[in-house]
Structure 1
Amino acid sequence: MDVNDAELSASDSAEITLVASPDATFKKEGSVAGSGDPEAGDIVTYSFTIENTGNVTLTGIAIAEHLVGVGSVLFAEWPGAEGELAPGKSTTASAEYVLTQADVDAGEVVNVSTLSAVPTRGTLDDIEAQHSLSLASGAALTLVKSAVLYDDSGDGLANTDERIRYTFTLTNVGNVTLTNVTLQMPRCRGCLR
């Protein structure tokens, strides 16, 4: 038999291990609805963006909110199965929070959220995103002064020794709590306090 006429065959196998590198980005923004200075009762909308930047699929994706009072996190459409992101894919979510007077008085709301996910291979530590929302302070106070004459003589005129009662109405028309509010009348001689 001629070697050139022989049919040669050979086989071999090799196992290649692909390294799993699970990773993700987690971004968070926040804004207050409405115009003007923020007030207690205004709605803050938090927006989240999650992207799978690793090389394995992430499953069981969830966002935990640490600020008491934040509503349920609502996810937009998933690019694949619900709660999963394939490599290179992303999704968004949102949640709402109602401002309290304490938030407005503090001048900011600091909110921390945690993203958790389970990769199909490997491990992925939880990822935190913090957002600080500055709240403008609009302190303002109005004063309305009125007077009533006690016309003891009955002549319809303000005479010596007749009393005048002054009434003052102070109204906080700003968005922050006012403390140590005082009223002074330096030009009122003989006024009883």
Structure 2
Amino acid sequence: MKTSDTELLTEAGQEITYSFEVTNTGNVTITDAAPVEAAFSGTGELSGFTPATATLAPGDVVTFTATYTATQADVDAGELTNTATATGTPPPGTELPPVPPSDVDIPGERTPGLLVTKTSDAELLTTAGQEITYTFAVLNTGNVTITDAVPVETAFSGSGS
């Protein structure tokens, strides 16, 4: 069984700890038991497992952990999905049956936002024909990447362009 300490993906840099519970459901001891990543949507690197492997007598349970630091691409995607199975070595002459996969899906909270600050190089309009340069600073205040951000003039009292 696979779980996560995180219920909601909210920002790049968020650290997520995955726990992989591996149970020996058979009647023989399994050596070198370990989780196996089957599918992971994360765009970064999942750490190695702790412990790396374990020996499991029948009925034994070991919890392995791995950590992941969310990337901006993960937040932009809106979710993280992770599927794992397990493997191990049974005694000679026996074969480990297929291990069913276990999934963890962490939904993302995407909150786009922009803030614009407009300034000009003139403090006072003094003459006709005076050239005024406006500067628009656009700030991404959300947690997702915004592409093609441009200021939009909503009101302008000048008679020129």
Q: Same fold, TM exceeding 0.5?
A: yes
Residues 114-137 of structure 1: per-residue CA shift (max 9 Å, x gap): 310222363223423222211111
Equivalence for 1:21: none
Aligned residue-pair number: 154
Displacement, 1:110? 1.5
Residue in 1 aligned with 2:59? 88
**For the structure 1 residues 37 and 71, does the alpha-carbon distance in structure 2 shift closer, same or farther, using more than 3 Å as the test?**
closer
Give the Cα–Cα distance (whole angstroms) in 2 for the partners of residues 107 and 50 of structure 1.
Answer: 29
Letter in 1 for 2:72: Q
Measure, in 1, the Cα distance between the counterparts of 2:96 and 2:9. 41
In the alignment, the residues of structure 1 paired with residue 9 and residue 127 of structure 2 have an alpha-carbon distance, to the nearest angstrom, of 48
Structure 1 residues 37 and 149, CA gap change in structure 2 (3 angstroms): farther
Does 1 or 2 have the higher relative contact order (CA < 8 Å, sep 6+)? 2
Which structure has the greater CA radius of gyration? 1
Q: Which residue of 1 aligns with 2:133?
A: 165
Equivalent residue for 1:174, pick from 142, 153, 160 = 142
- Which of 162, 182, 185 is 2:153 aligned to? 185
What is the root-mean-square deviation of aligned Cα atoms in Å? 2.6
Question: Pick from 102, 105, 112: which aligns with 2:76?
Answer: 105
Match of residue 112 from structure 2: 139
Partner of 1:30: 4
Aligned-residue identity in percent:
33
Q: CA deviation at 1:190?
A: 4.3
Instruction: Report the equivalent of 1:123.
Output: 95
With normalisation by structure 1, the TM-score equals 0.68
Q: Return the letter of the residue paired with 1:181.
A: A
Structure 1 stretches of 5 or more lacking a match? Answer: 1-26, 77-81, 151-155
Query: How far apart in 1 are the matches of 2:65 and 2:139?
Result: 37
Residues 89, 184 of structure 1: CA spacing in aligned structure 2 closer, same or farther, 3 A cutoff? Answer: same
Structure 2: runs of 5 or more not aligned:
none
Partner of 2:49: 73
Could you state the TM-score of these two structures normalised by the residue count of structure 2?
0.80
1:37 to partner: Cα distance: 6.3
2:22 is matched with: 50
